[in-house]
Structure 1
Amino acid sequence: MATLVPAVVLGLVGLVVAKVAGRRLIDLTLDPTALLWIVAGIFVVWWLWVAMICRIYVRSRKRTAPRMLRIAGAAGVALLCAAVSAPMAVGAKYAVVQRDLIQTVFDGADSQTTPKATAADPWGRRKRVNVLLLGGDGAVHRPGVRTDSVILASINTRTGSTVMFSLPRNLQRVPFKPGSKLAELYPNGFTDGRQDNAEFFLNAVYRNVPAVHPGVLGHSDNEGADAVKLAVSGALGLRVDYYVLVNLSGFSKLVDAMGGITVNINEPVPIGGNTDAHIAPDDYLQPGPNQKLDGFKALWFTRGRYGSTDYKRMERQRCAINAIADEASPTTMFKRYTKLASASKEIVRTDIPQSLLSAFVGLASKVKGTPMKSVGFERSDEFHPDDPDYDFVHAAVQAALHPPKATPAGTGTAVPAAGTAGTSADASTAPATTEKVPSRASNAKDDCAYHPVAAG
């Protein structure tokens, strides 16, 4: 009874607290100071509980009982204490791991490009928050990183509906946000006047701008990220609020910590290889539906491009993000939390402040329940990464974020939303048009469905 009754009481109290003050409970788990108090509270409860069990045993045991019975009683008390200690130890461990993760990843980065926001008004009354997802080829705290994956997630703060915009790594003449110091330094975009100079591609902004113009934006813990945010803002015509940088090499650890991701593979994806050096891949990921990928295979699913294009890779990267969102269920997060936290500490860097973590957790739950849309700027008649029409890009972005409603037959022509070439989830509702307009924003689920590409 000394074990069962307190366990039942604590369980009931926990259920009531979770029901009545669930949001407040989440806030506490995102506050390093509160987590420290939680660890202290767990220790106190554990000590009192174990002391009570031992005290009851000492008072109720018979000193005249046979020795074997006394030994059995002591062993039973030890088992009861262990049964009490195990969940308490797990709870304390999770609190310590969570505190360490928050203090390591969300360490209050000093940025020149984050918006003014408070916990009470996290989005500054804005309808959308725009988070830049960067995939780097090196350690997240190393200056010389190239950001080969550039995806902006624009999230509706009320509904969670999300549109992902993918920009090619070799995008040229990228304009910086109007009015910024970098826009003054590069009035013709990020270029030295020569075409196809890889040192002035979009993926070189993170490394080269701080190297050439250190301190130009003011004090910042990550000048490269601030520069890329301003570049993507100028390219898409959107404000970029925050960034999350992931080390692509360490991405495999994150996927392994999650237990893998499930994707559809529509054509062979190379593992290794170098097209320019004529080095063949070591192997291929073979086509097939609902394939469970471990970290190594997931990494090449997002990076492999031998004999293919950056655009195919961009599409697979968006599918990987979609798969991670699907995989991140509360059960998975709880079961594998310590591994996920450990992997995240090593491979993630961001300027999202600790004060907004609760708001982002709430927003993430909305995002998970809403289909994502996808927009990839691929080479086409209207768009060329080596000579991009940024007016076209801006129009495509706005059309994706604010798609016009279909016009009834005979009343005019509706302009479709911007996005990747292909079909859209609501393509059947819009009439045909002969205007030269951006192609549609597509549903990420549809893009990532199994539709194998015929050989040859």
Structure 2
Amino acid sequence: MPPASSPGLLDRQRAARFSTDERAARVRFRRAMALMVMTLVLPGSAQLVAGNRRIGRIALRVWAVLVVGFLLTVVVSLVWHQVAFKMAVNPSLLGLLRIGLMLGAIAWAALFVDAWRIGQPLTLAMNHRRAAVGVNGFLCLSVAGSLLFGAHIVGVQRDFMLSMFSNGAATGAHDGRYNVLLIGGDSGAGRWGLRPDSMTVASIDADTGRTVLISLPRNMSNFPFVKGSVMRKQFPHGFDVDYLNGVSTWAGDHTDLFPHSKNPGIDATIMGIEGITGLKINYWAMVNLEGFKDLVDAVGGVTLNVRAPIPVGGLGDDVTGYIQPGVRKLDGHDTLWFARARDGSDDYSRMARQKCVMNAMLQQISPQVAVTHFEQIAKASSAMISTDIPASEVPRFMSLALKAKSQKVATLSLVPPMINTADPDIPLIKKKVTQAIDRAEGTAPKPAAPHKKAGSGDGVVTGGSVGSLSSGYAANQADDLDNAC
């Protein structure tokens, strides 16, 4: 008869077995967690070491190709920005990328689930099993969710490109510059762009991006249209039936004269602006001023130097308040009124303030802001802008915009006291336009005795702009718009 074991020995044996089982459970748990971490860092590695090796090899090869491709794209984009821009605006490539991200999200999630299976969750202790399920679910949802969100953003960009830009043919630079007509118009049923609120030609150096903003007052009259145009035949001695901002209305009433035009009002306006300035317009962009405030809100506001109280309201309605003086970050609503307010001032003061807003937007919207607020910007821009710029030209203008951020923006406004808007001196206007462009390009020396900056001597401020109607406004005539504002 074998000797009976003592109670103390049985307790020690049970404790040893428990300790061994506990260590084994911890090992299984660490193994299960390691498989999930491996899937996060190197998708397919968990299958390669403990599961279906064929699936593991395929996943790792795909992952390696994607990583190498991504790194090469980053390096090439840093050296040649045009490559990144072209990829970002190509609808076909964006569509493929979107599908790829969606498939990647599904495949990566499947690898996480398989890694959880390989970790044999049923052999784990209950607390370890719950922890493994929680970690796997968190990693699976985080990775797949991030990829699906990326697919959503890519889809937004693709839709933005398809809805915003045309498929027309690109035009070359004229005398080394691209001239883009920027038109501000009020929104509303049946009155989109009916009477432009503002008209500015952005003349952009095709190599350096150096920009000159040339603004035309909406109340200019008795001006010629460019030679050979339809409007020139109708008004050989100048447009004397309305103001410049009424050209689009006249053309809209005589569409039979523009049988091949999709936008007779804009085309007729361009004929007038080319006749006035002597510049050949490449493209146009019409901005819905009411939608503009959504864009400002999308980028988080714009910082402007408010030099005098700016009325909110007016233009036929009651003034409801004022934007107080100071360097202020304005939201979309106040920025719009800063640019549009005319109560207590005049059109030319407003033109000066509009240039300050354009300059602030150019200088303050960084690539980081554009990326972090991309969806809001795309949504606001789609509702705000109509343009004939072809999608193929977007990378070029994006590159020029980045170059322009580091340079001074010059400005020229064809307004009193330099120009009599009721009877404009067209040769003088063309001379001033040429001089402004030559100074911006550095091919014309500055005058030995420059004119006093408008408003710099008397400190007069009317409607928020330095200067006055009689002396001119600083932001309307400046080689450095940033300082003038």
Q: Does TM, scored on the shorter chain, surpass 0.5?
A: yes
Match of 2:106 in 1: 47
Residue 396 (str. 1) matches residue 432 (str. 2): yes
Secondary structure, aligned partner of 2:123:
coil
Once the two structures are TM-superposed, the CA of residue 64 in structure 1 deviates from its matched residue by 2.4
Secondary structure, aligned partner of 2:236:
coil
Match of 2:294 in 1: 253
User: Which runs of structure 2 are paired with 1:53-452 in the superposition (5 Å)?
Assistant: 53-108=112-167, 117=170, 123-124=172-173, 126-139=175-188, 142=191, 145-192=194-241, 200-211=242-253, 213-274=254-315, 281-289=319-327, 291-380=328-417, 382-403=418-439, 405-406=444-445, 421=454, 441-448=478-485
Considering fraction of residues, name the structure with more helix: 2
**Gap change, CA 1:209 and 1:252, over 3 Å in 2:** same
Per the normalisation by structure 2, the TM-score is 0.78
**Gap change, CA 1:70 and 1:205, over 3 Å in 2:** same
The CA distance in 2 between the partners of 1:440 and 1:349, in whole Å, is 28
Secondary structure, aligned partner of 2:319:
coil
**Gap change, CA 1:44 and 1:136, over 3 Å in 2:** same
> Is contact 1:252-1:294 (8 Å) kept?
yes
Once the two structures are TM-superposed, the CA of residue 206 in structure 1 deviates from its matched residue by 2.0
Residue 18 (str. 1) matches residue 74 (str. 2): yes
Q: How many percent of aligned residue pairs carry the same amino acid? A: 34
**1:230-278 C-alpha deviation (Å, 9 max, x unpaired):** 111111111111111111111111111111001101112111124xx7x
**Gap change, CA 1:250 and 1:309, over 3 Å in 2:** same
The CA distance in 1 between the partners of 2:167 and 2:266, in whole Å, is 15
**Gap change, CA 1:405 and 1:170, over 3 Å in 2:** closer
> Is contact 1:106-1:353 (8 Å) kept?
yes
**Gap change, CA 1:142 and 1:209, over 3 Å in 2:** same
Consecutive unaligned residues of structure 2, counting only runs of 5 or more, are 1-37, 44-59, 457-475
Greater Cα radius of gyration, structure 1 or 2: 2
Once the two structures are TM-superposed, the CA of residue 101 in structure 1 deviates from its matched residue by 0.8
- What's the C-alpha RMSD, in Å, of the aligned pairs? 2.6
**Gap change, CA 1:21 and 1:373, over 3 Å in 2:** closer
Once the two structures are TM-superposed, the CA of residue 170 in structure 1 deviates from its matched residue by 0.7
> Is contact 2:413-2:477 (8 Å) kept?
no
**Gap change, CA 1:237 and 1:265, over 3 Å in 2:** same
Secondary structure, aligned partner of 1:3:
helix
The CA distance in 1 between the partners of 2:449 and 2:335, in whole Å, is 37
The CA distance in 2 between the partners of 1:394 and 1:420, in whole Å, is 22
The CA distance in 1 between the partners of 2:173 and 2:363, in whole Å, is 29
The CA distance in 2 between the partners of 1:295 and 1:270, in whole Å, is 15
> Is contact 1:400-1:440 (8 Å) kept?
no
Per the normalisation by structure 1, the TM-score is 0.82
The CA distance in 1 between the partners of 2:143 and 2:151, in whole Å, is 13
Amino acid at match of 1:42: L
**Gap change, CA 1:416 and 1:443, over 3 Å in 2:** same
Once the two structures are TM-superposed, the CA of residue 414 in structure 1 deviates from its matched residue by 5.8
> Is contact 2:438-2:444 (8 Å) kept?
no
The CA distance in 2 between the partners of 1:133 and 1:4, in whole Å, is 49
Consecutive unaligned residues of structure 1, counting only runs of 5 or more, are 110-115, 193-199, 408-412, 424-438, 449-456
**Gap change, CA 1:421 and 1:131, over 3 Å in 2:** farther
